Amino acid sequence: MEDSFLGRFRKGLERTRDILGADVEDLVRGRRPLKPEDLDKVEEALIAADFGLPATRQAMEVLRAKSAQIWTGGAEAMRSMLRDEIRSILTRPTGVVPFATKPWVVFVVGVNGVGKTTTIGKLAAAWKAEGRTALVCAADTFRAAAAEQLEIWARRTGAPFHRGAEGTDPSAVLTDALRIARSKGHDAVLVDTAGRLHTKGNLMA
């Protein structure tokens, strides 16, 4: 199971690298003076490579602020700046301190089939090994048998589990889970959610 998950993760990273690298390489290979619209192409390449809208905006703000250097240095300068900014974004501290509040609430989101439920099981097991208790909350009330699948992982890891009836409002399930977690002093609440894309603002809100 773990090898399969890591394999899919590596393939996803390779896909991002290949898409982004090919598009930027096309600009470099041209050896022509860059134009303002070339930055738009870089932005499109970042989005197409699933870099994420917030990170794409950050990278493009830096590139546009340094546009004078890019026009002088050409495509190689742009590629170097883009590489440095991506590295900066990926290595920047998030400022998130786990368990700074109690219960520490973790929403696990993603498209269908990427391993959200399995990841919750792994987190619950890892935190249990550290002496922490994580309540597993089945807030995916849309997919059939989602709660049952999650409950199996909760039982395997010995984690407390909370679910609502199928079709129940997910926010109501989570509200009950938080109340239970506070009353019993659990360290964290791991929240399973229905499959969604991170770019779908209405579903992420």
pLDDT tens figures, 111-128:
888 889 999 999 999 999
Structural domains in the chain plus CATH codes: 7-91 (1.20.120), 104-204 (3.40.50.300)
Global pTM reads 0.56
Distance CA 37, CA 42 (A): 9
Confidence of residue 86 (pLDDT cuts 50, 70, 90): confident
Q: Is 160 exposed, middle or buried (0-12, 13-18, 19+ CB in 10 A)?
A: middle
Q: Rounded to an integer, what distance in angstroms lies between the CA atom of residue 172 and that of residue 31?
A: 58
Cβ atoms of 13 and 90 within 8 Å: the answer is: no
Q: Is the pLDDT of residue 169 over 70?
A: yes
Q: How far apart are CA 162 and CA 113, in angstroms?
A: 22
Phi, psi of 105 (to 5 degrees): -95, 125
